């Protein structure tokens, strides 16, 4: 019954590798996001999708490519991993209403360590 889930929870890999992180939400939300939390705990938005359409792309290197096969899933593929990509990546989802922003619910996070 988990609302927003991510896999894997931990990811340790070598520089130069390509990896993917998957996110699924069962809340029926139409907007999903990827955030990066660095070692100083700073949370920064990377991407958002609304009904499978890319809405926000925050000057993220093009080695990062999000993909939304349907509105319940938003995956993140990272090519040619670099040391600086080490961080915790959080997926989130929300339901946009005409009255304004609604709560964003976060997944458990994927801890990526690039060696």
Partner 1 sequence: GENVEQHPSTLSVQEGDSAVIKCTYSDSASNYFPWYKQELGKRPQLIIDIRSNVGEKKDQRIAVTLNKTAKHFSLHITETQPEDSAVYFCAASMSRDTGKLIFGQGTTLQVKP
Residues of this chain that bind partner 1 (CB under 8 A): 31, 33, 40-45, 48, 50, 55-56, 90, 94, 96, 100-101, 103-109
Q: Say how many C-beta atoms besides its own lie within 10 A of residue 45's C-beta.
A: 16
**Is the CB of 20 or the CB of 57 nearer to partner 1?**
57
30, 87, 58, 107: CA torsion to nearest 10: 10
Between CA 4 and CA 86 the distance in angstroms is 22
| Nearest CB to partner 1, comparing residues 75 and 104 | 104
Give the Cα separation of 109 and 92 in Å (integer): 9
Residue (80 or 105) nearer to partner 1, CB: 105
- Least separation in angstroms between residue 33's CB and partner 1 is 7
């Amino acid at each position: 019954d988990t609302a927003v889930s991510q896999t894997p929870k931990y990811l340790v890999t070598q520089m130069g590798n390509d990896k993917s992180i998957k996110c699924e939400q069962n809340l029926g939300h139409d907007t999903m996001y990827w955030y990066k939390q660095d070692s100083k705990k700073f949370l920064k938005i990377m991407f958002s999708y609304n009904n499978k359409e890319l809405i926000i792309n925050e000057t993220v290197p093009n080695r990062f490519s999000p993909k939304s096969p349907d509105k319940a899933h938003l995956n993140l593929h990272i090519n040619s991993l670099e040391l600086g990509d080490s961080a915790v990546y959080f997926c989130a989802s929300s339901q946009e209403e005409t009255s304004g922003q609604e709560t964003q619910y976060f997944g458990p996070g994927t801890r990526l360590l690039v060696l």
